[in-house]
Amino acid sequence: MIKLLQSICHLLEEGEDLVLATVIGHSGSTPRSVGAKMIVRKNGAIIGTIGGGLVEFHAQKLAREVFKTGRALTEAVEFSGEDASATDQMICGGRMEILLELIIADPENVEEHKELIVALQKGHKGFLIKLIDTTGKGVRRMDWCLVQNDSVTLGTYPCQASLIATLTGEAVKAKQSLTVKVEERRYFVEPTVHPGTLYLFGAGHVSRSVAEMASLVDFRTVVLDDRAEFANAERFPGAELLQVVPSFNRSFEGLDIDRDGFVVILTRGHLHDKTVLEQALKTDAGYIGMIGSRRKRDLIYQELLIKGFSQAELDRVHAPIGLAIGAETPEEIAVSIVAELIQVRAGRG
């Protein structure tokens, strides 16, 4: 979400209007789920994806109308029959609803997106609520608000407490983005922290490849290391947060890791791995994985058992990390790790 918002902000700062396409509903089998977003530029170029093929062709076509009229619109796309078979996309047999809205390159929108990016980068749990209204004449962006701790902290929509409770309650039950209808009005509700925040402890070669691949499959990536020459934006351009920690002994300070968190331990040595694992076991992380051989794992486990950790606690750890695919190179190891992350995330969903 943050990377797409940064792209929007950059285009707006350059003076370029754009259309934002968002998947707000789906049924059956579709190429992307609710919440997927894509920017359509005036020249037809796109940033991001809402599924490729048929659906993006429709979105680009409809975006021209939105640029022309300034009016937001919703459109249903069917993934069956002649339309689907006419594309290079496999027939999914589902239905997807897309919202398209025009975002004008004015100072107000630039500042609004900057504030939202800063708020989301803090990683606090909350919800983005958008009123879906396509009835306006002329330029029409959806009214929206950011809700944190059950109150509005940012945005243009004055969402009342009772409505907040209803909308966020539905989102919590669904555990994903969704559209909710309340008193003949439709609202799109998105959790600001999606299941799948990946905490990479260690910024070496394997970590770099893991971060790149994890970003491609929609993990929010946080990279932590005690070496600034490793944990930097040049090596990890897709990371949403980079932290150079004083030492791995204090690497969890300020992190709110819960069941939606994936902790991956890839430090440069046995002692650092043990230090990080000891702290990770004290969190509610839904996944903890540690690189290394079974011999190394057993040595670390023995030391932690002596320190008072139980076998049940150690059984939470995926070690050696990754699926057993015979991986050897950093890139192959990264594939095995990210595949396991996807497997765990999918099983939980």
Check pLDDT > 70 for residue 136. Answer: yes
**H/E element holding 261?**
strand 261-265
Closest-CA residue to 210 (of 331, 346, 329)? 331
Distance CA(146)–CA(108), nearest Å, equals 17
pLDDT at 86: 43
pLDDT value, residue 83: 47
Average pLDDT over residues 48-70: 88
Mean pLDDT of the chain: 89
Confidence grade of residue 251 (pLDDT, cut at 50, 70, 90): very high
Q: Closest Cα partner for 119 from 2, 253, 11, 257?
A: 2
Q: Quick check: 349 pLDDT over 60?
A: no
Determine the Cα–Cα distance for residues 62 and 40; give it in Å rounded to an integer. 10
The predicted structure's pLDDT at residue 81: 53
Read off the pLDDT band of 134 (50, 70, 90): confident
Lowest mean pLDDT among 59-68, 77-86, 169-178, 238-247: 77-86
pLDDT band, very low/low/confident/very high, at 85 (cuts 50, 70, 90): very low
Indicate the pLDDT class of residue 346, thresholds 50, 70 and 90.
confident
* 197 backbone dihedrals φ, ψ, rounded to 5°: -85, 120
Tell me how far apart the alpha carbons of residues 11 and 214 are, in angstroms, rounded to a whole number. 25
Model pLDDT, residue 210: 96
Q: What angle do CA 24, 167, 194 make, to 5 degrees?
A: 60
Pair 283, 260: CB distance under 8 Å: no
Q: Is 70 exceeded by the pLDDT of residue 29?
A: no
Helices (H), 198-310: 205-216, 270-280, 294-306
Res 80: pLDDT:
62
Segment 299-345, tens digit of pLDDT: 999 999 999 999 999 999 999 999 999 999 999 999 999 999 999 98
Contacts of 100 (CB under 8 A, 6+ apart): 19, 20, 21, 22, 40, 59, 62, 63, 66, 72, 73, 74, 75
Most confident of 24-33, 82-91, 110-119: 110-119
Cβ 210 vs Cβ 289: under 8 Å: no
